[in-house]
Amino acid sequence: MREQFVYALLLTIKFFSRACYHFDISWIGDIPEDPWKNLRLVTFLNHTSLYEPLFVGWFPNHFLRRIARHGVMPVADKALRRPVMGYFFRMVANHVVPVTRRRDHAWEKLFEHLKPDSMVIIMPEGRMKRANGLDNKGNPMTVRGGIADIIEAIPSGRMLIALSAGLHHVQTPGQLIPRFFKTLRMRIENIELAQYRQTILERRGKEDFKRGVIQDLEQRRDMHCLIQTR
C-alpha cells in the first residue's frame, strides 16, 4: 500500500512540476545504453531548497516507480519534525530514515535498509545553502563523510550524480511561497560504483578514502553546478 501511495505522490509532483516549470537538464560524459538500469545510489549536490523534489518532473516514470519500491532516503530529523513538510518528506521514498549530523544509531538503521535491490537517494551536504552561499551557521557548504560509507557498503551497480544549479530563484530557505514558471537546471553523471571506488582508492588509499570522496564530489559540484540566472 505504501509503495502505491509513494508512487502516486511522485507522479503528482511530476505533473505539477511539468505544468509550472521548465527544465534545462543534460548528461555529462558518456551515457550508458540504459542510464537508469542498476542504479544503486543517487546523489543530489548543491542542496539549496526544500523544493528540490520539483526535479522529479524530468525523471522517467520507471525511475519514480523504483523510488517507490526500493528507494532508501536519509532525511534530516529536523526536516521531518516540520508539521506539513515533515509528513511530505516521510512519503517520498519507500524507506525514509531520519538522521542527524552525528554518526549514531540512525545511521545504523540506514544501513539496515540496504538490500541487493535498494537504491539510496541522498543529499550529502546535509543542510541547505542560504542565499549568501553559506549554511545557516555561516559556514561554507561541504559534503559530509557519510556518503563515503554508503559507497563502500554498496558492492556494485551505478551511481547517478545530480548536480543542481540551485533553486533559490524558486524558493530560498525561509520563504513560504515558491515562484512559478522558472527554469530548473541540472547536469547529471552516471558512474560505475566499483570503478569510482577503485579510482578514489588509487588516488588516496584506504586510510584517506573518505576524504578523497568528499573532495571529488565537491570538485564535481564546483565544476558542473551552473549558476542559476532565471
pLDDT, averaged per 10 consecutive residues of the chain (230 residues), comes to: 95 97 94 93 94 96 97 88 84 90 73 92 92 91 93 95 95 90 96 96 94 96 69
Q: Which amino acid is at 104?
A: D
| 156 contact partners, CB below 8 Å, separation of at least 6 | 38, 40, 193, 194
Q: What angle do CA 157, 161, 164 make, to 5 degrees?
A: 160
Name the residue ranges covered by the structural domains of the chain.
23-52+70-224
The string of pLDDT tens digits covering residues 117-160 is 999 999 999 889 999 989 989 999 999 999 999 999 999 999 99
Residue 228 Ramachandran class (φ > 0 left, ψ -120 to 50 alpha, else beta): beta
User: What's the CA gap between 225 and 71, in Å, rounded?
Assistant: 25
- pLDDT for the residue numbered 229: 45
pTM of the full predicted structure? 0.93
